[in-house]
Amino acid sequence: MSRTRVKICGMTNMDEVSHAVAAGVDALGFIFAEKSPRFIDPERAREIIATLPPFVDAVGVFVNEEPERLQEIVQFCGLTMIQLHGTESPEYCSQFQQRVVKAFQVGPDMAAEVLTPYEDVVSGFLLDTFHKDMPGGTGQTFDWSIVQKLQPAKPLILAGGLGVDNVGQAVAEVQPFAVDINSAIETEPGRKDPELITRLFEVLSS
């Protein structure tokens, strides 16, 4: 079985990005939703992304952004992937040249039919914890057994409150293609703890 890929989201700091790259991260997320406490200005994101080595994806995270504005940011920053956390339709997802990951908030009543219309237009599904006021970054886990009934047809990225203490169990139970780590390794929104980054990869490699 291949190893679980790791994306760390909500990056805002060059030193923390460098530490994550050195630790072995596969992808880094940059949040362009202005209401997010982890929002990063495109100018700053461009500076950081320009330093990334080959084979580390730069993922732009958007919430119901105007397509033209989204494409401008993608080109300006050099993003290699798009992650959508709003109510974007399959038609919306299909209009970009870059790979698209569509995020869904998982509640106890979520049905597999919600994912089906997106299967032909996205590269993967990110499953996060449902919160009525937040599109992501809740710091809370959801009932991972729900994933079994969803049986997504595209690679699954597991998110929602994952950190050093529970990521090993999450990978063992869900066996996702990748995990998306954010608030559980922070000292404050947008600032990652280098020690927790190191420990995260130690857990995943053990």
Active site residues: 9, 128
Q: Residue 39 has what DSSP assignment?
A: B
Q: Residue 114 has what DSSP assignment?
A: G
Dihedral, CA atoms, 137, 143, 148, 154, nearest 10 degrees?
A: 0
SS (H, E, C) 90-104: HHHHCCCCCEEEEEE
Burial of 2 (0-12, 13-18, 19+ CB in 10 A): exposed
Q: Which distant-in-sequence residues (6+ apart) come within 8 Å of 195 by Cβ?
A: none
